[in-house]
C-alpha cells in the first residue's frame, strides 16, 4: 500500500510525438506534444497542473487514463508499469472527470444508466447491488434519488457535472483525473462543485490530478502545482511556495495574469512577449526564450537543465533561490 | 449632432421578451443606464441573466420574433427603436461596433483577414481599396500584430486564438466607433493573452475616447476594466454603481454571494469551503413578479414577493433589495472585503 503523500503514480520521462499531416501533397511532420515529462502524483493529495492551451496537459491526461499511449517513457501505478494491469482493473482505479458535462454525458441514457455503466463494464452483474451503489452516489452528490430516471437534458450544468462525478467515483477509484472540471460552469455552481470535490477527496482519501487554466481555482484546491510549457514541466512545487515565490519566468507571467477583483487597479501588465509558441517549430535553446522577459544570451542556445532545491524544481538558467 | 449635455447612450426601462412554446420568456426586464463618451460600463452576471440579450438588443441584432421595448433607447440623439433597419445597419460597424467571444465563429472563414477588415470600412466610408488597406495595416499594427502585410492575406484558421481576437478588435475599430460592445471578449483565451488583450482594449479606448459596454461573467475582469458596473440576475439589474462602490461595498445578497463563491477574492482561506449560493436560477417563463432571487436568498421575506424598486445605497450606488434597510445585513462582508 502506498502511504499518503508518497507517489501513487510515477510518470517517468514520458514523451508523445504525433505525426501531423501537412496537407494532401506534403509529408507529415512530427509534433512533440510531450517532451520528457517526469512527475509524481502523491497519494491522497491534489496535484494541480496548469499551462496554456496546447501545452500538452490534456495529452498527459489521456495517457494517464490509458486512452493514448506514450511514444517513450513509462508510467508506474503503485510502482508497477500500467501495462502490467489489465485494462479493466486499471480503468476502475483511475477515472476521469471532463470539462463539459453537456458533451461528456450520453443524452439518450438515464442518470441510472450513466452512473452504473462503469460497474457494468467492470463486470458487476448484480443489478440490485448496482442500484444500491447508484443511489448512494446520488446521495453523496447531494441529489434527490428521484432524478435516477431523468435524462441529462432535464438537468442544469451543475447537476450534470455531479452526474459525471458520480460516474467517476462509482467504481471507487484511487485516482481521479479532473480535466478542467469546472471551466464550463458559472461561478456559483463552480463553488458548489469545488466544495463537493474537496469533501469527496477527504472522505474517500482520493488522489486528484487537477488540470485547469484557472489559477485561482488551482491555488485554492491544490497541495502541489506543476506548470507545463510546450510539453515540459517548467516548474513544480508545493502550492504555497509556487504562488508565493515562483521561480520560472513563465510561472511569474501566469501569476501576474490572475485577475483578483480589484476596482482600484487596471488590467495587469504581464511580463511576456507577444510571440506565439508553435509546437511544430520549437525555438532553439530554452523553448520559452522568445517570450521570456528575463532571457539572457545563452537562453537561445542551450536548453536549461532542471534545478532542484528541496521539493521545488524548475527548468530555467536563472535557477532557484535557496529557500 | 449630439447634444453636449446628453449621454452618448441612454437606456431606460429596456425589456426583451421571447415567445417560446411554454409562454413568454422575459429575458431582460426594465434595465436602465446611461453611458458617456470614454466611459466603460461592465455588465456582470451568470449564464441566462440576460447580459448578452441586452447588448444584442442595443445593437438591434435580435431576430424579429423577439420583442424589444424601452421607454428610451437613444444613441447619439437617435431613437434606435424607431430607426428603419437600413439606418441601423449603417450605424452598426460604423458608429457602434461589437467584439464577440469566439472570433473563430465571428470571423468569416472564407475571406482573408484583409478582406474582412476592409469590407466594413469601404461599406461605411465609400473609401477606395488603398485607403482601406492603409487603415487596416495601421490598426493591425496598433493591436500588436507583427508583419501586418502578411497577415492581411491570411485566413482566420491560420491565426491563433489570441491573434484572431486582436483581429476582431482591429475590425471593430476600423470606423472609429463611438460605442464598442464587447461580449465576453477574452473568455476563450489563455490567461496571459487575456491580460494582454484587456490592457490593449483599455489603451485603445483611452486613445479613441469611445464608450464601451463590457459584458462578462468574470468579476475579476470586470473590476479591472469598468468605471461602473451593473450586476444582473435573472433578467434584471440587482445592483449598480461605480466599480469602486459595487466591489468595495456590495449591497445585494446576490452580489455578496457571488463574491463568497470566488476562490481568490481573499474572503475564503486556501482549501477552506467556498461560499455557495444554494438552489438554481429560476425559470423566466411566465410569472416573473417580485424579487427573482428570493428562493435562493438568505434574507428572503414576504415583502420580496412584491415588485422591488431599486433603492439608493449611496450616491450613484443602487440595489434592488427590500432588506437594504437592514444596514447590518451588508456590513460583515464589507469589512472582510476591505481587508488586504
- At residue B337 the predicted structure's pLDDT band, cuts being 50, 70 and 90, is very low
Give the count of beta carbons closer than 10 Å to the beta carbon of residue B192: 21
When CB atoms are compared, the residue of B201, B261, B270 closest to A187 is: B261
Residue B273 has pLDDT above 70, yes or no: yes
Its domain, for residue B286, covers 232-338
For testing contact with chain B, the best of A51, A142, A162, A187 (most B CBs within 10 A)? A187
pLDDT digits (tens, 9 = 90+) for B177-205: 999 999 999 887 888 889 988 998 999 89
How long is chain A? 323
Cβ-defined contact of A217 to B224 (cutoff 8 Å)? no
Residues B54 and B138 in one domain: yes
Share of chain B above pLDDT 70, in %: 94
Q: Is residue B1 part of a domain?
A: no
Q: What is the mean pLDDT of residues A14-43?
A: 89
Measured at the alpha carbon of residue A287, what is the angle toward residues A285 and A293, in degrees to the nearest 5? 100
Query: ipTM score of the complex?
Result: 0.86
Inform me whether the C-beta atom of residue B141 falls under 8 Å from chain A C-beta atoms: no
Cβ-defined contact of A52 to B244 (cutoff 8 Å)? no
Residues B200 and B268 in one domain: no
Q: How many CB pairs below 8 A link A and B?
A: 138
Number of independent structural domains in chain A? 1
Residue partners of A48: CB distance under 8 A and separation at least 6: A210, A211, A212, A218, A219, A221, A222, A224, A225, A226, A239
Inform me whether the C-beta atom of residue B219 falls under 8 Å from chain A C-beta atoms: yes
Q: Is residue B301 part of a domain?
A: yes
A124 HSE (CA, 13 A, CB side): 19
Residue partners of A307: CB distance under 8 A and separation at least 6: A313, A314, A315, A316, A319, A320
- d(Cα B121, Cα A134) in Å, to the nearest integer? 60
Cβ-defined contact of B199 to A264 (cutoff 8 Å)? no
Chain B residues inside the 8 Å CB shell of A213: 190-191
Cβ-defined contact of A52 to B191 (cutoff 8 Å)? yes
Residues B166 and B68 in one domain: yes
Cβ-defined contact of A276 to B257 (cutoff 8 Å)? no
To the nearest 10°, the Cα dihedral for A48, A51, A55, A60? 10
Residues B205 and B260 in one domain: no
Task: State residue B78's pLDDT score.
Answer: 94
**Minimal-distance CA residue of chain B relative to A55:** B190
Residues B176 and B244 in one domain: no
Nearest to B138 by CA among B178, B170, B94: B170
Residues 51-70, chain B: which have Cβ within 8 Å of A?
none
Chain A residues inside the 8 Å CB shell of B161: 53
Number of independent structural domains in chain B? 2
Residues B176 and B247 in one domain: no
Q: Is residue B293 part of a domain?
A: yes
Residues B137 and B211 in one domain: yes
Grid cell locating B201: 482594449
CATH number for the domain harbouring residue A23 = 3.40.50.300
Residues B137 and B176 in one domain: yes
Q: Is residue B91 part of a domain?
A: yes
Phi, psi of A289 (to 5 degrees): -60, -30
Q: Is residue A145 part of a domain?
A: yes
Residues B199 and B315 in one domain: no
- d(Cα B212, Cα B288) in Å, to the nearest integer? 30
Q: Is residue B30 part of a domain?
A: yes
Q: Is residue A322 part of a domain?
A: no
DSSP states along B72-92? EEEETTEEGGGS-HHHHHHHB
Residue partners of A96: CB distance under 8 A and separation at least 6: A61, A65, A168, A176, A177, A178, A179
- Asked whether B172 and B103 are in contact (CB, 8 A), the reply is no
**Minimal-distance CA residue of chain A relative to B227:** A263
Report the range of poorest mean pLDDT among A247-251, B10-14, B281-285. Answer: B281-285
CATH number for the domain harbouring residue B28 = 3.40.50.300
When CB atoms are compared, the residue of B193, B221, B273 closest to A259 is: B221
Its domain, for residue A191, covers 7-314
pLDDT digits (tens, 9 = 90+) for A92-118: 899 999 887 778 889 999 999 999 999
Instruction: Please give the mean pLDDT across all residues of chain B.
Output: 89
- Asked whether B30 and B94 are in contact (CB, 8 A), the reply is no
Residues B203 and B76 in one domain: yes
State which of B226, B243, B273 marks the end of a domain.
B226
Residues B167 and B263 in one domain: no
- d(Cα B10, Cα B6) in Å, to the nearest integer? 8
Q: What's the maximum distance between 2 C-alpha atoms anywhere in chain B?
A: 66
pTM above 0.95, yes or no: no
Share of chain A above pLDDT 90, in %: 66
Pairwise pLDDT comparison (A204 vs B330), residue with the higher score:
A204
pLDDT digits (tens, 9 = 90+) for B79-109: 999 999 999 999 998 999 999 887 777 899 9
State which of B204, B226, B248 marks the end of a domain.
B226
Residue B154 has pLDDT above 90, yes or no: yes
Residue B268 has pLDDT above 90, yes or no: no
Task: State residue B308's pLDDT score.
Answer: 87
- At residue B161 the predicted structure's pLDDT band, cuts being 50, 70 and 90, is confident
When CB atoms are compared, the residue of A189, A198, A265 closest to B224 is: A265
- At residue A153 the predicted structure's pLDDT band, cuts being 50, 70 and 90, is confident
Q: Is residue A319 part of a domain?
A: no
Q: Is residue B167 part of a domain?
A: yes
- d(Cα A67, Cα A59) in Å, to the nearest integer? 9
Residues B239 and B332 in one domain: yes
- d(Cα A296, Cα A300) in Å, to the nearest integer? 8
Cβ-defined contact of A216 to B225 (cutoff 8 Å)? no
Chain B residues inside the 8 Å CB shell of A257: 191-192, 194-195
- d(Cα B225, Cα B248) in Å, to the nearest integer? 15
- Asked whether B172 and B142 are in contact (CB, 8 A), the reply is no
State which of B166, B196, B226 marks the end of a domain.
B226
Q: Is residue A323 part of a domain?
A: no
Amino acid at each position: 500500500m502506498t502511504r499518503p503523500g508518497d507517489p501513487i503514480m510515477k510518470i517517468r520521462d514520458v514523451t508523445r510525438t504525433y505525426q501531423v499531416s501537412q496537407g494532401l501533397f506534403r509529408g507529415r511532420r512530427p509534433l512533440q506534444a510531450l517532451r520528457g515529462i517526469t512527475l509524481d502524483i502523491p497519494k491522497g493529495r491534489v496535484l494541480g497542473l496548469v499551462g496554456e492551451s496546447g501545452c500538452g496537459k490534456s495529452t498527459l491526461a489521456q495517457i494517464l487514463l490509458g486512452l493514448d499511449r506514450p511514444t517513450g517513457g513509462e508510467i508506474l501505478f503503485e510502482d508497477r508499469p500500467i501495462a502490467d494491469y489489465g485494462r479493466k482493473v486499471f480503468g476502475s482505479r483511475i477515472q476521469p472527470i471532463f470539462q463539459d458535462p453537456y458533451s461528456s454525458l450520453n443524452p439518450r441514457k438515464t442518470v441510472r444508466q450513466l452512473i452504473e455503466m462503469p460497474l457494468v463494464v467492470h463486470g458487476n452483474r448484480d443489478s440490485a447491488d448496482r442500484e444500491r451503489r447508484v443511489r448512494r452516489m446520488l446521495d453523496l452528490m447531494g441529489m434527490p434519488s428521484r432524478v435516477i430516471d431523468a435524462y441529462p437534458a432535464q438537468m442544469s450544468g451543475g447537476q450534470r457535472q455531479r452526474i459525471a462525478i458520480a460516474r467517476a467515483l462509482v467504481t471507487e477509484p484511487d485516482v481521479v483525473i479532473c480535466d478542467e472540471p469546472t471551466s464550463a460552469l458559472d461561478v456559483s455552481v463552480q463553488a458548489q462543485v469545488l466544495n463537493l470535490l474537496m469533501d469527496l477527496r477527504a472522505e474517500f482519501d482520493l488522489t486528484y490530478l487537477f488540470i485547469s487554466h484557472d489559477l485561482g481555482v488551482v491555488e485554492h484546491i491544490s497541495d502541489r502545482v506543476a506548470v507545463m510549457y510546450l510539453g515540459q514541466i517548467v516548474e513544480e512545487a508545493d502550492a504555497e511556495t509556487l504562488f508565493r515565490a515562483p521561480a520560472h519566468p513563465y510561472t511569474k507571467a501566469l501569476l501576474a495574469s490572475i485577475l483578483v477583483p480589484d476596482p482600484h487597479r487596471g488590467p495587469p501588465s504581464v511580463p511576456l512577449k507577444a510571440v506565439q509558441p508553435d509546437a511544430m517549430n520549437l525555438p532553439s535553446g530554452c523553448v520559452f526564450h522568445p517570450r521570456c522577459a528575463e532571457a539572457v544570451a545563452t537562453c537561445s542556445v542551450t536548453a536549461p537543465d532542471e534545478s532542484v532545491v528541496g521539493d521545488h524544481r524548475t527548468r530555467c538558467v536563472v535557477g532557484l533561490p535557496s529557500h | 449632432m449630439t447634444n453636449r449635455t446628453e449621454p452618448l447612450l441612454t437606456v431606460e426601462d429596456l425589456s426583451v421578451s421571447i415567445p417560446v412554446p411554454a409562454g413568454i420568456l422575459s429575458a431582460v426586464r426594465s434595465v436602465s443606464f446611461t453611458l458617456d463618451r470614454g466611459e466603460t460600463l461592465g455588465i456582470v452576471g451568470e449564464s441566462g441573466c440576460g447580459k448578452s440579450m441586452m447588448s444584442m438588443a442595443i445593437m438591434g441584432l435580435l431576430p424579429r420574433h423577439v420583442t424589444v421595448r424601452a421607454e428610451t433607447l437613444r444613441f447619439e440623439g437617435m431613437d434606435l427603436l424607431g430607426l428603419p433597419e437600413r439606418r441601423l445597419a449603417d450605424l452598426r460597424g460604423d458608429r457602434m461596433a461589437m467584439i464577440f467571444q469566439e472570433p473563430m465563429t465571428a470571423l468569416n472563414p472564407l475571406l482573408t483577414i484583409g478582406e474582412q477588415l476592409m469590407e466594413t470600412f469601404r461599406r461605411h466610408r465609400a473609401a477606395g481599396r488603398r485607403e482601406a488597406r492603409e487603415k487596416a495595416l495601421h490598426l493591425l499594427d496598433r493591436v500588436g500584430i507583427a508583419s501586418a502585410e502578411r497577415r492581411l492575406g491570411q485566413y482566420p484558421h491560420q491565426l491563433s486564438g489570441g491573434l484572431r481576437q486582436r483581429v476582431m478588435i482591429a475590425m471593430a475599430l476600423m470606423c472609429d466607433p463611438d460605442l464598442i460592445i464587447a461580449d465576453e471578449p477574452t473568455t476563450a483565451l489563455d490567461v496571459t493573452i487575456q491580460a494582454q488583450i484587456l490592457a490593449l482594449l483599455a489603451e485603445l479606448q483611452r486613445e479613441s475616447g469611445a464608450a464601451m459596454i463590457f459584458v462578462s461573467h468574470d468579476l475579476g475582469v470586470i473590476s479591472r476594466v469598468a468605471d461602473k458596473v451593473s450586476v444582473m440576475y435573472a433578467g434584471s439589474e440587482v445592483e449598480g454603481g461605480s466599480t469602486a462602490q459595487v466591489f468595495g461595498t456590495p449591497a445585494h445578497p446576490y452580489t455578496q454571494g457571488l463574491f463568497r463563491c470566488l476562490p481568490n477574492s481573499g474572503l475564503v482561506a486556501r482549501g477552506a469551503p467556498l461560499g455557495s449560493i444554494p438552489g438554481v436560477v429560476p425559470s423566466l417563463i411566465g410569472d416573473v413578479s417580485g424579487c427573482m432571487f428570493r428562493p435562493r436568498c438568505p434574507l428572503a421575506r414576504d415583502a420580496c414577493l412584491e415588485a422591488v424598486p431599486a433603492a439608493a445605497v449611496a450616491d450613484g450606488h443602487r440595489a434592488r433589495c427590500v432588506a437594504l434597510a437592514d444596514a447590518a445585513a451588508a456590513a460583515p462582508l464589507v469589512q472582510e472585503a476591505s481587508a488586504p
